[in-house]
Amino acid sequence: MVAHPPCTRLCLSGVRWLHEPPTKLSTAHYSIREVAAYARMNREQRLAFMWDELDKAADLFSAFWNADMEHGIPRICIENPVMHGHAKQRIRNYEEFAQSVQPWQFGHGECKRTCFWLKGLPKLEPTNIVAGRAQRIHQLGPSADRWRERSKFFPGFASAMAEQWGTHALQQLAA
């Protein structure tokens, strides 16, 4: 299983919203009803909402992370950025990520640290180290689609996963 749970509430860059909640929500992530209800909340209610969102995100990550014990899934990869401490505390049986990779290690001339939490899978080996080291993701300005660009998963990662982990799984099944 390869899982890509939403990182908005789990990632280090999102921890600030747990102390000073945003003044509004986006319809890119929430229903019109949720956006309207949030707009009527006071600061304390918004803080409670953000912490509740963190709990939901941690529950989803936990479900993926514990799928080996709970559902017998032998090979697990969860992709997410570096997590903040509040998220780590809420994830059942939490372990630190096994590997972090960069797009430039897999044929894309960009920097965007991506972490993999692995069970039953080997670390990915870089496939195509390129010279470029553009900080495009980090330097994105505010926009309605900024979240989409920041969430981009690079095809080089996916190809390496399919090739390396597919081969690994087939070898295990043949043994």
Per-residue pLDDT tens for 5-42? Answer: 999 999 998 899 999 999 999 888 899 999 999 999 99
The secondary structure element, H or E, covering residue 173 is helix 166-174
pLDDT in tens, 60-112: 999 999 999 999 999 999 999 999 999 999 999 999 999 999 999 999 998 88
* Residues 144, 44: Cα–Cα separation, whole Å: 26
pLDDT score recorded for residue 151: 74
pLDDT score recorded for residue 175: 87
**Half-sphere exposure of residue 44, counting CA atoms within 13 Å on the CB side?**
0
* Residues 71, 20: Cα–Cα separation, whole Å: 38
pLDDT in tens, 143-162: 667 666 777 889 999 999 99
pTM of the model: 0.90
**Half-sphere exposure of residue 10, counting CA atoms within 13 Å on the CB side?**
24
